[in-house]
Each structure stands twice: as structure tokens, then as C-alpha cells.
Chains A and B, each alone.
Chain A
Amino acid sequence: MWKWIQRQSSPKIFYQTCSNLTPWFFWPFIGFLVIGLYWALIVSPADYQQGDGYRIIFIHVPSAILSMMVYAIMAIAGGIGLIWQIKMAEVVAKVSAPIGAAFTIIALVSGAVWGKPMWGAWWVWDARLTSELILLFLYLAYMSLNNAFDNPRTAAKSSSILALVGLVNLPIIHYSVKWWNTLHQGYSVGTGGLKDPDMQIALALMFVASIFLYALLVAIKAKTEVLIREQNSRWVQEEVTGASI
């Protein structure tokens, strides 16, 4: 098992694995996205109060879940890099950060667009919205810290510690609507808040599509990162020039 992991995490084999996996992430993503959008925009009925405006949930909720999930993956990969010194875990952590930040921005912006007509405000400083904004700042801090060092190992070490410290924010985001009175509503997912089965199916499809999108982006970005890190090695030069030297 240990040997297998070590073999998989050699840069060359990791690069190969990412290349091989890319189509396995790309086509399911497209499939789930198309069916999911169809289910979300056409099959699902309108809401009894919000009309069609509620459909923003199909973007907002998957992005919000992914924003937290990607952070957890980033912190765990960073921790694995710290403890076991697996370089490819550092690569996964580093390339996850901008993707997670993008999901966070999508969740915040889609929420604001929904909030203006429904609540009457773009933004309020309640516990849920504020903790999600802090998550965005954590991603930005991670990225700038990671870019502040020339040596990728040093960069990974310090930014992984930051990522682990920021983990404390995840339960705060998740439980904020339960622990405190917030303007943001409580859980709709897993509590029977979505009363219509078509709404549930549409949300599930969009969620799976988002996971494949994340996996796809990681595979693509990790390849680039490996090439940069290993630019002096022989196999990279062969790979890039397409000829043996």
C-alpha cells in the first residue's frame, strides 16, 4: 500500500494519471451539467412564493458546498504534504486554492443577487454571510502566502499551516444558521426543505456536476504545476519538446 502510494506520487506517474483521468472528469461533467440545467430550469416547478427566482439555488448551494469541500481537501492535502512530505499532495493543495476561491465568489455573488429581491438587501452582516466571506479571505491569504516564496517546498509548508488553521472556519460556516439567529435561512438540504422531488433531483445533478468540474480543473492545473516544478528533469523536457534529448 505504502509502496503504491509512493509510486503514484512520483511526479511523472502523477502527471500521467492526471492526463488519463481528464476525459473521465470532462465528459461526466458535461453530461451532468446539461441534464442538471435541464432539470433545474425546465423540469422543476416554480416556487410558491419566489416564482422562478428560487432557481438560483441550483448554482448557489452546490457552489457553497464546494467552497467548503475544496477548502477541506486543500487543508487535508496540505497536512499530508506536511507530515508525509508527499510533494504531489502539495501540488493538489496549491491548485485547489483558486478553484475553491472561485466557488466561494460564485456562492457569495449568487446569494447577493437572490438576497436583493427576496430579503430586500444585497448584503447583511449575519453570521452565515460573514463566515463565508472570511472563507474567501482565507483562500486569498493562502494563495498570496504560497506565492510569496521562491522555493515551492517552503511555500507549501507555510501555506499548509495557514490552511490547517483556517479549518476552524468550516464548522462555523456550517452551523452558523443553527447556533445563531441569522437572516440566512436554515438547511434546505437533508431536512426536507425542498418539498418537490424534481427540485431535489435537479440540485443533486448540479452538485455532482460541480464535483466533476472541480476534479477536472484540479487534473488540468496539477499537470501545469508539475511541469513547472519538475522543469529541470529529463522527462519533462522530453514531454514538452516531444522528442528524446
Chain B
Amino acid sequence: MNNALGKLDRPNSYIGRSVTRPNAKRLLAGKGRYVTDMKLPRMLHAAFVRSPYAHAKIMSIDISAAAAMPGVHLVATGADLAKLCKPWVGTLDHFRGMKSSPQLPLAIDKVVWAGQAVVAVVAQSRALAEDAAELVEVAYEELGVVTDIDLARQEGSEIINPDLGTNLSFTLKVESGDVEAAFKDGAVEIEDVFHFGRHTAVTLEPRAIIADYNSSEEQLTVHHATQTPYQFQDLYSRYYGIAESRVRVVAPDIGGSFGMKLHVYHEDMAVVGLSMLTGRPVKYVADRMESFLSDIHARDHRVTSSMTADASGNILGMKVDDVTAIGAFSSFPRTSVVEGNQVVRLMGAPYRFRNYRGDLSVVFQNKVQTSQYRAVGHPIACSVTESLIDGIGRRLGLDPFEIRRRNIITQDMYPYTSPTGYKFERLSHEVCLDKLHAEMDYPRLLKQQEELRAKGVYRGIGIAMFVEITNPSPAFYGVGGARISSQDGAIVKITPSGEVQCLVSIGEHGQGTETIIGQIVAENLGVDRETVRVITGDTDVTPYGGANWACRGAGIGGETAFQAAKKLKQNVLAVAAAILQAKPSDLDIQNAQIVDAGTGNIRIALSEVARISYFRSDTLPDDVSPQLTVAHHYSPKGYPFAFTNGVQGCHVEVDVETGFVRLIDVWVVEDCGRIINPMLVNEQVRGGAIQGLGAALFEECRYGETGQLENGSLADYLVPMAYEMPDIKIFHVETPTRDTELGAKGCGEAGTAAASAAAMNAVNDAIAPLGAHVSQIPMTPQRLLRALGKV
């Protein structure tokens, strides 16, 4: 590895090391502090009356019995909150022509999905609030329900948002090269229709929020289990008309997020208003049933796609038609069309064909909103591409590794611009593919597969290459008018005892943000990482920044801290040089001692420099003014995104009598650029892969024709559990980005991006001898048995 900074034998060299997470000890002792755990003085609890119908007019609401119940402090309707909160619209300018209707915290005239919040009840306890909610009477008149993506677009269909006049939110065409000519020239063509189930994040800690409005100071404090505190500061300020400086959002320990905890939720917006109306802190924790009904869902795509290649297996072109349904509104502030946008742009990303056409249609329906959840769009683009390329290979008698080798973008081709407009700085497809081939011992697996097939045992091997979007620049949201920051900030200071405090705008949700920032700062300053305290998640304290989404914590937040620490080191050395009457360039810091850069001899302790700076600055020359606190902000300026890549392998056994799939082995080879902490990267990749495997085999929000979610509980919505999941073998290739000094890219979505694709290819490989094929996830026993012609 060509690693200029991470030489592991230097003192205080932490970048590249698997160090443990200091903050995990607190969590292990049961001393985490999540919003769900918090109690404030005089705090009240909210519960919501929800629509039982997917589409209905609200005819009347009678709150009298609920309001009269002892212990109830407030029963608020949509009209009550509309007096305080401005409506929001989930569109962005750069998605041209996109439509969505205004939204308010609670429904007023009509409900558009089953589970939508209609009335809020605030009481002394959650149980009492639920008691009172049962007494609220809402009369509805049912409307036609739109669930099917084709019927939704037909002439004469029920229109969910009459103000828009259509159930089509957005369409997009991405075209490059001459697709029709490519298909005419192709020797072989594969077409398929793929279905991707709706699924959802299922963070173990549900959404949780406490809003505390203090009218005497017009100050709003929100304790919020969110990934993006500053985004919510901005939104609460603007939509409730409170000065930005008087809105404080605090995100303490958070029980999982995965992209789900950065969207505006109707209940969360309502809770702010409820606190303003009651003048007391109001807490709302979505229970699990409410999570399924109101958290954003994701995926839900139907993709018709074809790929063509010449007789040697060189892919010539690809056509994609993606229809995705997003619920009744586009979510806010990031919209619900980003996933579709990424689907049509990530198609074929590892390969070098030039002729491409992608059509996207984004459709409204009477279900809860979809939006960004881990690996937005990636699993869909990857599954479609990787399934079709396998199909081409099968048709031409080319092994899955071979067909990919013939088509990947090679080292001599960078920088490379994809037909969909993505700019790749440098990826490492060949190395990753070869590594996977070796590590999975592919020849052995093939041999074993053949032997077992003779005994009626059907095993399959699947591989899937992926490209992941990380480190987004303002091109992602800012350009569309969203007040979502693509920059991050870090404040690093030396304390009077010579310890280090670092405040960063990126947040900690268990992925290890505080740990890697501690590693980066400690290494760049030259101190023991145990002495670096990292503070996150409080808009009154931490610097302004975009925080955690789209895999930007390490790449952007990490670079920010990297540069801040470097600046601070220069400031420390300037003071030390004045004290020692030396030149700063002759000094260095090691183990919190100022040393001679050349010899390493200790000159003065960092703590002594700090003591003099803070308490005896009178002893310093007049022109020396110690600056032992440094703030630094950074936003990507070079490539609009830092793309990462990798390849996954999956080995399965299909019980062809029952349709059950057993995961035997999973391999991931990934390249996320500079690795700051291999153990934490591995954990991100593993956890991500498991979410992809859950999607492949288990997870799906199932709706009936009337728009009711039929499996909205943890007993019915099947998340991946320990017994069914395999050990995952992870291997790394490191291609640092040159856009930053740190060189890190993101790794949070790599696991999810290709796991379902590899699993689907593996299952199809297993059942191919029986003439069966599936193009739908999750691959349930029933779907497999149907594919096998058994039922």
C-alpha cells in the first residue's frame, strides 16, 4: 500500500489501525443516552390518531371526549397546527418538472395513506394519550385507492393530489450514444423485468423526539434522534418562524439511522407545534407499529431492461425503464425521486459500454412515502446490471468472471465519464475481481457444485460488481435549492491541561465517527488518541455542517478534522517556538511533547505550552498571540462525488422442493479509498451486506388492494436475524481519492449495494439446471417454487 500518512510504526500513527471505540464502553454498560431514555421536567407525551383508510375525505372530527379525559393536556387537529407551521413541498429545482403537493403536520381535509396522522393527543403519559386517542371520533368518506403503478398512470385513474392533476411526480430520460444502433448490431440480447419489493429501515430505536419550547425566550430545544441536526434546525426555524439562533437541535446516542432519520416526518413536525401550544416539553416515540406505518420506505421499483453484446461478449448497449412508486407525497427536504435518479444513472456503472438509455417514471400511490435509505438506488441498478450480464455470459457460454473481465473499465481508462454522466476518478475493478476469484476459490466451488448437482443438491455461485456514490458535493442537493449542507466543520482545541477537544458537525450513530475523528486528530497533532475528546450532535455547540448521509462522514468530515488538526499543530508549534526561541519548522509534536523534528528529543510538554498560553501569556513576546483553538470547514471541490467500487460473491444452496435458500458464504472485496480503521470498515460492510441479504430473501412491506400494510410488525416483517445470516469474508483494496489529503471515501453502502444482486445471481445459478429463473426480490419460497414450477 502506498501510504504516505499511515505508516503504522510512527508514534501516534492511528490512521489505518483497527482501534476500538472509546464510546462503545458506555453503550456496553447500559449507560447510553438515547432520546427514548430522556425525561425532562414537566414533560408530556404525544400519541396520534391515524387514518384507517388509505384514501379518504375527512368529514368531521370530534375531540370532545378525548379532550375531557383527565390527564389530557391538548388534543390538536391539523387545522390547529396549520396556524403555526407553514406547509412544505418535497421538490427540488434540479429535478425539472417534478411535482408534489404541500404537506402539513396533520391531515386536514383528506388522508392519503393508511396510518397518516390526523389528530395529536398530548397527555401526562403515553398510555393516557393512547387512551384518549381511542376516544377521538373521525368520520371519513372513502375514496378510490391507488396502489398499482400502472393503474395509477392510466387515464381516468383516481388522482391522489387533484391540485397536480396527475399521479406522475417526475419523469427523467438519460440518453447517451446510439442505443438503437447498438441493439441492431448486437449478436445477443437479454431482456428481463425485475421487481424490487418495498422495504424499510427498521432501526432498532424507533424515531424519537422531544420538543421543548420556551416562550419566555422564544427558544426551541429539540432532542432528536436524527442524523442531520443542522438540517432540522433550519427547518424548525423556517417552518415555525423561530429565529435560527434560537433553535437548538441535540442528537444524543442514536439507535440506528441508515438514512431513515434525516427526513421530515409529519409527527416530528407536529411535536414542535404541540410543545409551543402546551408550553411544555412534549415527547414522541414512534412505537414499532407506527414505525412501519410512518417511517419512510424505500425501493419499490419495477425495472424493464435489456442488454446487448457482440459475439465476443462485449456489451454494446443497455436500455432501462424504471417505474417506481413513492407514496402520496414526495418526501422533504430530499425528495422521493433521488432513488430513481440514482437507479437510472448507476446502471452498468462498472462497465465500459457507451450506448445507454434510461427512462424513469416516479408515481404517486396511496402508501407511505419512500425516500433515501441505505445505498439509495444502488441495489436496484446493481441487480439489474449484474443479472443481465450473467444472462449474456450464459448465452455466450462465458463464465461470470470472464464476461465481466471483458467489460470492466480498466486502469488505463481513468478518469472516466460514464454514459450517464458520472465522473470516476479511479476505480479498481480488475484487482477486486481477481481478488474475489482467488479468495472464494472459484474453481473449487465450481467443482463442488457439479458433484453436488449429481446428488440432487443445488448450489449456486453469484457475483456482483458495484460502484458506490460517496462524498457528495453541493451538486447533490445544494444545486437543487435544498438547504442541506455539503460542507462540514471541525473545531479543535488544546485544553489548558494539554488535552484535545474536537467538535465536529458529523454525528455518531455507532458507525464510529468519534473514533475515526479521534484517530485523525491524534495522528495529525501528535498526541495519544485517549486524550482526544470528540463531541458531536448539538447545534449550540458543534460547528455547522451537513452531517451523516450518502457516505460522507469519513471522506468529508474526516478531511475537515484532518485539516483542522494540521492548522492547530502549526499554531501550537508557533507558540512553542516562541517559548523555546526556535523555528517552528524545526519542531514537531510526538506523544504530546514538543520535540526536535530532527532528533525527536523532547523540548517541552504540550501541557506546558497550553499552561503558558492560557495562564501566563504575559511571558510570551508581544507579537505572539496563542491560537490554541482552530475552526476549519471543508466541502468537496474536485469531483462531484468520490466513487468507490468492489465486488461481492455469494454461495447458496436452494432446497428445490421447498424453495428455501440457505446462505453458505458471502465474500466482499471493496475499495473505499484510504481506510482509517479497518475494523470499523469491516463492520460497516458486514452490516450493510446483511441489509442487502435481508432484502434479497426476507424484507418486503406487503400491501393489500385497499392500501393496508399487511405485515407492519416485527413479527411479520422479516428482518435478517443471526440464525439465517452467514459469516462474511471481507477483503480490501485501497485507491485513495486525490481530491483530499486524507484520501478516504465512504464505505457505508458498499455492503448493501451488491449483496442482493450477488444473492439473486447465486440463486439463479443454482436453479438454472432446472430451467428456472427469478427476477424479483425478496426471493421467497413461494416465488422460487413458482419459478421451479412446483406450485
**Same assembly:** no
